[in-house]
Structure 1
Amino acid sequence: MKYTCAVPMVQIDHLTEIAKTAEEVGFDSIALPDSIFYMEKQSADYPYTPDGSRMWDENTPWVDPLIAAGAMGAVTSTLRFYTNVMKLGSRNPLLLARQVGSVANLTNNRFGFGVGIGWAPEEFEWCGVPYKRRGARVDEMIEIIKRVLAGGMVEFHGEFYDFDRLQMSPAPSEPVPFYVGGHTDAALRRAARVGDGWTSAMLKAEELAEIIGKLKALLAEFGRADAPFEFQAVCIDKFDLDGHRELADIGVTDYIAMPWVFEGHGFDADLQTKKDSMKRFADTYIHSGWQQ
């Protein structure tokens, strides 16, 4: 099982030092969150808290995850990065293809594209995109971005997007993996159909096991049972070595952690506290030899 350090709601001036520390202590990846803006009033419930409220406010720091990946990639050499997840629905696929390809090239293929739709109507409407039919629109977006990143001349004539032959150079020298987020049946089918992996929000191990089982059945349905596929998990009830063994047994391939929050220091802990927590986490789990 691989280990990823998540950096939601982290002070922006901590990011490059966190990346260097993550590489030094043995993390495999950094998971980069996405938030475009904070709207004062929300018209829909946030789907990943019991009461629908957001876990942040108007002063919480966020940075564009693709820009963050470029900055963190510049100070590391082996650490990987992936968005967790980028909300595609309010964005433009051709602009995203250019950005994702640039990050993949600048990091020497150390970037994975974690994608989702987006939950807030305001993010769509205020960015000039309709909220309705967002799932179908994102399916077209994923297809477009994949085609463009594969290199060569590309044209597309769909329901939502239409363009003649174009090319973006240079294309990444290796395929950019796509990780699909979401817990709905539609999201799971999307992950199994077009993804190189699935990424979770906060779930219990029992819930993860159920979803992984569904995904394996869907992968078989789409003729992809033997294809490489990542199961990236944020688990909220398995924290010791035995718990990590249990998660590996149910199929989790990538454990996403935020060590300083795990230790009770909060999202806004100072930088040295974050670095110390990462080192302790790595000593306890990454270097413990439990997978041998």
Structure 2
Amino acid sequence: MKFTVGIAMSPLEQLTALAQTAEECGFSNVALPDSLFFMETAAADYPYTPDGSRMWNAETPWVDPLIAAAAMGAVTSTIGFYTNVLKLGSRNPLLLARQVGSVANLTGNRFGFGVGIGWAPEEFEWCGVPYSKRGARVDEMIEVIKLVLGGGMVEYHGKFFDFDRLQISPAPSKPVPFYVGGHTDVALRRAARVGDGWTSAMMKFDDLVTTMARLKELRTEYGRLEEPFEIQAVCIDRFGKDGYAQMAEAGITDSIVVPWIFDGLGFDAPLEAKQDSLRKFADLYIH
């Protein structure tokens, strides 16, 4: 099982140094979160906390994950990066294809595209995109982005997106993996149908096991069970050597961890303290 560092809500000036330290320690990836803006009043509850509250406020630092991946990739050579997850619904697929292809090329194919729909109506409406039919729109967006990233002259004529022959160059020299997030059955079907993996939000181990069983059923249904498939998990009730061994045995391929939180530090802890936490975690569980 691989270990990925989650850097959500860390000060922006820490990110490149954290990537370098994570690479030195043997972490496989850096998980990059996505948040467009903080709306003072939210029309919908945040779906991944028990009470629907957001875990951040208007002053919490966020960075565009694609820009962060390019910046972190420029100061590293082996560690990978993936969005966890980028909210597709409020964006344009052709612009995203250009951005994703650029990051994949600039990092030497060290980038994975973790995608979701987005939960906040404001992120859609205030960016000029309807909130309704968002799932169907995102399905087309994934098709468009994959098509364009495949290279060459392409065209697309769908219900939501329509364009004649075009080409965005250079295309990545290797396919960009797509990791699909979401806990609903519709999201799991999307992951099984078009994804190279599935990524979780915060979940308990038993819920992860149940979800993985459902993903196996769906991948079998779509004839994709024998294809490689990542399970990227944020497990909130299994820790330590025994816990990580249990996760690996269950089929989780990538554990997303935040070592400084394990050490009782906050998201805004000093850089040096976070680097110490990375080294401590690596000594215990990676080396």
Structure-1-length-normalised TM-score: 0.98
SS in 2 for 1:148: helix
Q: How does 1:30-41 map to 2 (within 5 A)?
A: 30-41=30-41
Q: Which runs of 5+ in 2 are unaligned?
A: none
2:148 maps to: 148
2:83 maps to: 83
SS in 1 for 2:284: helix
CA displacement at 1:249 relative to structure 2: 1.1
AA of the residue aligned to 1:282: A
2:113 maps to: 113
CA displacement at 1:47 relative to structure 2: 0.2
AA of the residue aligned to 2:31: A
2:13 maps to: 13
Q: Distance in 1 between matches of 2:73 and 2:240?
A: 30
Q: Distance in 2 between matches of 1:178 and 1:151?
A: 16
2:207 maps to: 207
SS in 1 for 2:164: strand
1:290 maps to: none
AA of the residue aligned to 2:125: E
Q: Distance in 1 between matches of 2:23 and 2:35?
A: 25
CA displacement at 1:240 relative to structure 2: 1.1
Q: How does 1:1-292 map to 2 (within 5 A)?
A: 1-287=1-287
Structure-2-length-normalised TM-score: 1.00
Q: Distance in 2 between matches of 1:262 and 1:156?
A: 47
AA of the residue aligned to 2:147: R
Q: Distance in 2 between matches of 1:286 and 1:14?
A: 22
CA displacement at 1:187 relative to structure 2: 0.2
Q: Distance in 1 between matches of 2:24 and 2:243?
A: 25
SS in 2 for 1:170: coil
Q: Distance in 2 between matches of 1:213 and 1:263?
A: 32
Q: Which runs of 5+ in 1 are unaligned?
A: 288-292
AA of the residue aligned to 1:46: Y
Q: Which moved more, 1:30-39 or 1:241-250?
A: 241-250
**Percent same amino acid among aligned pairs?**
71
CA displacement at 1:17 relative to structure 2: 0.2
CA displacement at 1:264 relative to structure 2: 1.1
SS in 1 for 2:155: strand
